[in-house]
Amino acid sequence: MANELTNSQNYNRELRNRLNNWFSGYNLLDFPKDIFDAHAMTSFMQSDVVESDKNYTIAIDMPGMNKEKIHLNYKNGVLTVSGTRETFTDLSDHDGNILHNERSVGHVSRQYHLPDVDEKNIHAKYEGGVLKVTLPKKEEDPESPSNITIE
């Protein structure tokens, strides 16, 4: 019986190694192999969020993305930033024989809760792999009362 367990364990180990070898080069947007590892995922769309009296400013790292593949949406106090990157790598020898050919597509998305934004004046710029979004705050109406009367 112990021999059967050893054979089964060896088979499982061999199968796992074979799968790892098959997918070792498969890495969408440089995602970590274990996408459930929260520590490894923190390197994607790293951002700085700054708040001032007049606006919010967000700088988001999105290297290697085409500006046309980045999408922004602000609705119900939430800014959603998403992007898609397609890659193609062609490693050929001098005779044009392909030694390795890999294509991958990856999609990333992140949301930021930023209330009371003047939606019509949001401004975004993408430069050097960094997306910078400025979200001006709505101006408060000085005539609007802050106290509420209880009836």
pLDDT in tens, 35-83: 444 444 445 689 999 999 999 999 999 887 889 999 999 999 999 999 9
Question: Domain check: are 116 and 89 in the same one?
Answer: yes
Please tell me which residue, 108 or 80, carries the higher pLDDT value.
Answer: 80
The CA–CA distances, whole Å, from 90 to 85, 99, 102, 107 equal 17, 8, 7, 22
Report pTM.
0.60
- Band the pLDDT of 27: cuts 50, 70, 90: very low
Sign of the C-alpha dihedral computed for residues 93, 96, 102 and 103 taken in this order: positive
Look at residue 87 and tell me if it is in a domain: yes
pLDDT at 18 over 60: no
58 touches 79 (CB < 8 A): yes
Parallel, antiparallel or unpaired: strands 98-113 and 47-51: unpaired
Domain that holds residue 69: 46-140
Look at the chain and report how many structural domains it folds into: 2
pLDDT at 137 over 90: yes
Q: What is the CATH number of the domain that holds 99?
A: 2.60.40.790
pLDDT at 136 over 70: yes
- Band the pLDDT of 17: cuts 50, 70, 90: low
